[in-house]
Amino acid sequence: MSRIDERLIAGLDAAAARTGIPALARRGPRRRRFRWLPAVLLLLAFGLAGYGLLDSKRMWLAASLIGVVQSISWPLHYAGPLRTGGGGSEIVDEFDRALILRAWLAGFASATALALIGLFGSAGLALLMRWSLIALVEAAILIPLLMLVVLSTVPTLYASWALPAFDDD
Partner 1 sequence: MPLIHNRIALFRAECGMSRRALADAVGVNPQTIGYLERGDYSPSLELAMKIARNFEVPIEALFSFEPFEPVWRTMQRAERGD
Q: Write down the least CB distance from residue 105 to partner 1, Å.
A: 15
Identify which of residues 43 and 105 has a Cβ nearer to partner 1 in the complex. Answer: 105
Identify which of residues 91 and 133 has a Cβ nearer to partner 1 in the complex. Answer: 91
Q: Write down the least CB distance from residue 168 to partner 1, Å.
A: 7
Binding site for partner 1 (CB under 8 A): 30-31, 89-91, 93-96, 164, 166-169
Identify which of residues 30 and 35 has a Cβ nearer to partner 1 in the complex. Answer: 30
Q: Write down the least CB distance from residue 91 to partner 1, Å.
A: 6
Identify which of residues 96 and 138 has a Cβ nearer to partner 1 in the complex. Answer: 96
Q: Tell me, letter by letter, the H, E, C secondary structure of the chain.
A: CCHHHHHHHHHHHHHHHHCCHHHHHHHCCCCCCCCCHHHHHHHHHHHHHHHHHHCHHHHHHHHHHHHHHHHHHCCHHHHCCCCCCCCCCCCCCHHHHHHHHHHHHHHHHHHHHHHHHHHHHHHHHHHHHCCCHHHHHHHHHHHHHHHHHHHHHHHHHHHHHHCCCCCCC
Q: Write down the least CB distance from residue 103 to partner 1, Å.
A: 15
